[in-house]
Amino acid sequence: MSWRRTRSSLVVIVTAAVVVAGMAAWRWTHNHPPYGPEALAITSSLSLVSYAEAQAALGERIRPPLASDERDQLVLGRVAWQPPPEPLDGGYLAVFLIDKRTNRKPGDFVASGPQDVVSLGSAGVENRIAERYAWLRGAGDVKVGDDEWRSNGNRLAVYDETASPLTFVALFPYVADAARKPTVATAPVGMSDLLLALVYLGPNGQVYWAQRLQG
């Protein structure tokens, strides 16, 4: 009888070990990036431009953000990458432009890529980026109070790996009223104030990797 009990206990232990190992293997595979940023050979650039220069960079069919004050600023950015080893398959590449002084992002972007695969906005899952990378704190929302979060601007999300090169223009508006507390990045801004990053997120909210491109 004791031999049977010992054998049963061993079976339970072995089964539990197999289950734990299987879960660990699944978790590793689930969160492991299909490839790293080096596979994309990413190139990028940033510059302050006039409205005319922004229009020329975007092409005739796309209009840059409209500056309502002569002190508003436009930042032109380009990000390019070579075709990755595997398609995004439900994941996306997020382009973040952040004012490092305030950890805020622009509110208004215009991009030259295909409009059906490039979108402007933010997502709650991107708060994980800020939790994982201290230098990308501006990627997440801003906590206001105990249970409230507020968006601090937008990023560009690219859902098709073939949408390269990507050219974009971001508006940094000038806020004349010092009493106002803007929630997005504002002018005046210098090139040394800006951080440009590319982040690869998986189809289930995995933060695969983040690559600093500028700043």
Q: Are residues 11 and 73 in the same domain?
A: no
- 166 closest CA partner among 51, 74, 62: 62
In the chain, the DSSP E strands lie at 43-49, 73-80, 92-99, 108-111, 118-121, 142-144, 148-150, 155-158, 166-172, 194-201, 207-214
Q: Are residues 15 and 106 in the same domain?
A: no
Q: Are residues 128 and 199 in the same domain?
A: yes
Q: Average pLDDT, whole number, for the chain? A: 88
Residue-wise pLDDT for 22-62, tens only, equals: 333 334 345 789 999 999 999 999 999 999 999 999 999 99
Residue type, 164: S
Q: From the DSSP assignment, how many helices (H) and strands (E) are in the chain?
A: 3, 11
Write out the residue range of the structural domain in which residue 157 sits.
36-214
Q: Are residues 120 and 50 in the same domain?
A: yes
Number of domains in the chain: 2
Q: What is the DSSP letter of 82?
A: P
Q: Are residues 19 and 106 in the same domain?
A: no
Q: Are residues 21 and 98 in the same domain?
A: no
Residue 175 pLDDT: 93
**Cross-strand partners of 46:** 77
Q: Are residues 110 and 10 in the same domain?
A: no
* pLDDT higher than threshold 70 for residue 1: no
**Mean pLDDT lowest among 5-14, 44-53, 119-128, 202-211:** 5-14
Q: Are residues 2 and 41 in the same domain?
A: no
Residue-wise pLDDT for 61-72, tens only, equals: 999 999 889 999
Q: Are residues 87 and 109 in the same domain?
A: yes
Q: Are residues 163 and 130 in the same domain?
A: yes
CA distance 214 to 45: 7
Q: Are residues 68 and 131 in the same domain?
A: yes
Asked whether 154 and 122 are in contact (CB, 8 A), the reply is yes
* pLDDT higher than threshold 70 for residue 119: yes
**pLDDT (mean) for 126-142:** 94
Q: Are residues 19 and 78 in the same domain?
A: no
Question: pLDDT higher for 198 or 114?
Answer: 198
